[in-house]
Amino acid sequence: MIDRRSFLKSGSLAIAGSTIAINSVASKKPLIKIKVDLEWRNKQSDMAYRQLGKTGLMVSEIVNGGDPVSTKNYKMVELAIEKGLNYLDMAPAYGRGECEKGYSLIINSSSKREKVFMTTKVSGFSDIRNRMYKEIFDGLPEGKKEKIRKRAAEMREERGVDIPGYFLTYWKGQQGTMDPVYISNAMVEDYAHKVDGSVEFKKYIRDSVQGSLQRTRQKYFDILMCPHGANSPEEVQIPEIYETLEALKKEGLVRFLGVSTHNDPAGILRAATATGKYDLVMCAYNVINGGYMYEAIKEANSAGLGIIGMKVAMAVATHHKNIQPLPQWRIDKVNQIVPGNLKPPMKAYLWALQNPRITAVISNLWDEKFVNENLSLAGKKVELQPG
């Protein structure tokens, strides 16, 4: 594992991965060869599957997002499973637990559990770190506070996390979530000894997993993503994450460790790769930020990490009314790059799936129409045009 101080000095865009490689089922010529026991679930002829990195899990190219799922809206997921989808994503934050409760109505027997891989997240985990640093920050003299604010701004500038095109707004207020994170990051060198090692980290993870197990009525999760929505590389460098995950593994409650990220996805993907502890990353990846993500994805894939693209379609379509309409040039771009008469969101998914280093794309399957349209993209190959 990379030394924490050396890691922090390297910056979010400069971390290289190792040289282990991973096979892509989607490619006629495997990107690399690695001996891993493959695990298939719900394999069906109309669905295409790819290997989720070193986990060996064979995952459907389209996986199910948890946002629409609730105790009153879940039948579309059953239809998707009938069509070969085998990966279910969820989080305590979705509907304040309603999403996980909705999944309990779908996966309500051992035979159904054996058909799918289930992933949940540790929502709100990064807030613990930010709160502990803020408590220290609030007790400092104004002069020291100003130096920290200046350093936080410098770090963001150095890392390029706010560059338009790399940073994309997926919901209102998203950019503001970076502010407390970088105050925390600017305090690490002087105050990490007061935050690192807190038992609160371990307790929060364990309590979150136990709550998710209760709501889903399951005995274990295949994947735990921690943090849910990491905003900076430092957030995947918390030792208590790895220690708690190992304990949960031994207890049979969790199998693999992942992280999800909307902001600075390339930096966090590189950081997760560098730790040697993460098995997969679900990161914002789309036709707009794709150029910024290319090298980080290549490095992560070579290190054996599974990569699930999220916010793939939200670059060109969104259900959030307060950020509508999205810029027309984005829609024009995906229409230019991906030939055919498909809807822009479908083209966006198809664009991402042409990258053999991506395991899958996550899609919110709001109803039967979304299921039929988006799952029809699995296994399709197109010749992308210059953008």
Q: Given the structure tokens 């090692």, which residue do they identify?
A: 197
Binning pLDDT at 50, 70 and 90, where does residue 34 land? low
Q: What pLDDT, on the 0 to 100 scale, is given for residue 35?
A: 77
CA distance 220 to 246: 14
10: pLDDT confidence band, cut at 50, 70 and 90? very low
Span 286-292, mean pLDDT? 98
User: Taking Cα atoms as reference points, which of 69, 56, 1, 62 lies closest to residue 23?
Assistant: 56
The whole-angstrom separation of Cα 97 and Cα 183 is 30
378/26: higher pLDDT: 378
Residue 356 has pLDDT above 60, yes or no: yes
Rounded Cα distance, 21 and 282, in Å:
18
Tens of pLDDT, residues 141-156:
999 999 999 999 999 9
Q: 368: which 2 tokens?
A: 């039967």
Query: In this structure, are residues 235 and 227 in contact, taking their beta carbons and an 8 Å threshold?
Result: yes
Rounded Cα gap, residues 306 and 125, in angstroms: 22
pLDDT level of residue 387 (50, 70, 90 thresholds): confident
d(CA 121, CA 88): 12
* Nearest C-alpha neighbor of 240 from the set 212, 281, 193, 198: 198
- Residues 122-154 as b/e (b if ≥16 CB within 10 A, e otherwise) read bbebbebbbebbeeebeeeeeeeeeebeebbee
d(Cα 51, Cα 306) in Å, to the nearest integer?
7
pLDDT value at 31 more than 90: no
Average pLDDT across the chain, whole number: 92
pTM confidence score? 0.91
In this structure, the number of other CB atoms found within 10 A of the CB of residue 66 comes to 24
- pLDDT at position 14 over 80: no
Distances in Å between the Cα of 263 and the Cα atoms of 89, 160, 188, 259, 319 are 19, 11, 20, 12, 19
Q: Which domains does the chain have, with CATH numbers?
A: 4-127+193-375 (3.20.20.100)
Burial zone of 200 (CB within 10 Å; 0-12 exposed, 13-18 middle, 19+ buried): middle
Query: Tens digits of per-residue pLDDT, 154-213?
Result: 999 999 999 999 999 999 999 999 999 999 999 999 999 999 999 999 999 999 999 999
Range in 32-36, 81-85, 287-291, 306-310 the model is least confident about = 32-36
Read off the amino acid at residue 79: L
Encode pLDDT of 76-92 as tens digits.
999 999 999 999 999 99
Residue 5 pLDDT more than 70? Answer: no
